[in-house]
Structure 1
Amino acid sequence: MERPALPPGALAGLRVLDLSRVLAGPWCSQLLADLGADVVKVERPGSGDDTRAWGPPWLQRDDGSASAESAYFLSANRNKRSLTVDLSNPEGQRLVRELALGADVLLENFKVGGLAQYGLDYASLAPLNPRLIYCSITGFGQTGPYAERPGYDFLMQGMGGLMSITGRPDGEAGGGPLKVGVALTDVMTGLYAAVAVLAALQRRHVSGTGQHVDLALLDVQVAALANQASNFLVGGRVPQRMGNAHPSIVPYQDFPTADGHMIVTVGNDSQFASFCGVLGRADWARDERYATNPQRVRHRDALVAAIGEITRTRRTDDWIAAMEAANVPCGPINTLDRVFDNEQVRARGLRVELPHQEASAVPLVANPIRLSESPVAYRSAPPTLGQHCEEVLRDWLGLEPEAIAALRAQRVV
Structure 2
Amino acid sequence: MTTTTTTTTPTQATLTGVRVLSLALNLPGPAALMRCHRMGATCTKLEAPPPEGSRSSDPMGAYNRGAYEALHEGVEIVHANLKTADGQAALHAHLAQTDVLITSFRPSASAKLGVDWASLQPRHPRLSLVEIVGAPGARADEPGHDLTYVAESGLVPGLELPPTLYADMAGSVMASEAVLQALVQRAVSGRGAHIEVALSAAADYLALPRHWGLTQRTGAVGGAHAGYRVYPCADGRVAVAALEPHFAQRLCAAAGVDAADAQGHNAMFRSSTHAAVGAYLHGRSCAELDELAVAQDIPLFTMPDDGQ
Structure 2 unaligned blocks of 5 or more: 1-6, 51-55
Partner of residue 409, structure 1: none
CA contact (8 A) 2:20 2:41 kept: yes
Partner of residue 3, structure 2: none
The Cα shift of 1:277 comes to 2.1
Whether 2:299 is the aligned partner of 1:323: answer: no
Q: Which amino acid aligns with 1:293?
A: H
SS in 2 for 1:82: strand
Distance in 2 (CA, whole Å) between partners of 1:319 and 1:205 is 53
Whether 2:154 is the aligned partner of 1:184: answer: no
Whether 2:279 is the aligned partner of 1:309: answer: yes
2:265 maps to which of 293, 296, 317: 293
The Cα shift of 1:98 comes to 2.6
Change (3 A) 1:336 1:137: farther
Distance in 2 (CA, whole Å) between partners of 1:337 and 1:260 is 10
Count of paired positions = 297
Q: Which amino acid aligns with 1:184?
A: Y
CA contact (8 A) 2:210 2:216 kept: no
The Cα shift of 1:184 comes to 2.0
The Cα shift of 1:5 comes to 9.3
1:109 maps to which of 101, 104, 108: 104
Partner of residue 243, structure 2: 267
Q: Which amino acid aligns with 2:23?
A: L
Whether 2:254 is the aligned partner of 1:278: answer: yes
SS in 1 for 2:107: coil
Structure 1 unaligned blocks of 5 or more: 56-69, 165-175, 233-238, 339-413
The Cα shift of 1:282 comes to 4.5
Whether 2:38 is the aligned partner of 1:34: answer: yes
The Cα shift of 1:129 comes to 1.3
Partner of residue 405, structure 1: none
Whether 2:20 is the aligned partner of 1:50: answer: no
1:211 maps to which of 193, 201, 226: 193
The Cα shift of 1:295 comes to 4.2
CA contact (8 A) 2:268 2:274 kept: no
Change (3 A) 1:277 1:222: same
Change (3 A) 1:215 1:337: farther
CA contact (8 A) 1:162 1:179 kept: no
SS in 1 for 2:144: coil
CA contact (8 A) 1:151 1:217 kept: no
Q: How does 1:9-408 map to 2 (within 5 A)?
A: 9-46=13-50, 47-55=56-64, 70-141=65-136, 143-144=137-138, 146-164=139-157, 176-231=158-213, 240=216, 246=222, 249-279=225-255, 281-283=256-258, 285-287=259-261, 290-297=262-269, 299=270, 301-333=271-303
Change (3 A) 1:88 1:6: closer
Change (3 A) 1:5 1:331: closer
Distance in 2 (CA, whole Å) between partners of 1:140 and 1:5 is 34
SS in 1 for 2:292: helix
Query: As a proportion of its length, which structure holds more helix?
Result: 2
> What is the TM-score normalised by the length of structure 1?
0.66
Distance in 2 (CA, whole Å) between partners of 1:156 and 1:138 is 11
> What is the TM-score normalised by the length of structure 2?
0.87
Deviates more, 1:211-220 or 1:222-231: 222-231
CA contact (8 A) 1:40 1:80 kept: yes
Distance in 2 (CA, whole Å) between partners of 1:206 and 1:249 is 48
Q: Which amino acid aligns with 2:13?
A: G
Distance in 2 (CA, whole Å) between partners of 1:255 and 1:184 is 24
SS in 2 for 1:107: strand
Change (3 A) 1:247 1:133: farther
Q: Which amino acid aligns with 1:157?
A: V
Change (3 A) 1:335 1:134: farther
CA contact (8 A) 2:27 2:168 kept: yes
The Cα shift of 1:179 comes to 3.3
The Cα shift of 1:116 comes to 1.2
Distance in 2 (CA, whole Å) between partners of 1:99 and 1:213 is 20
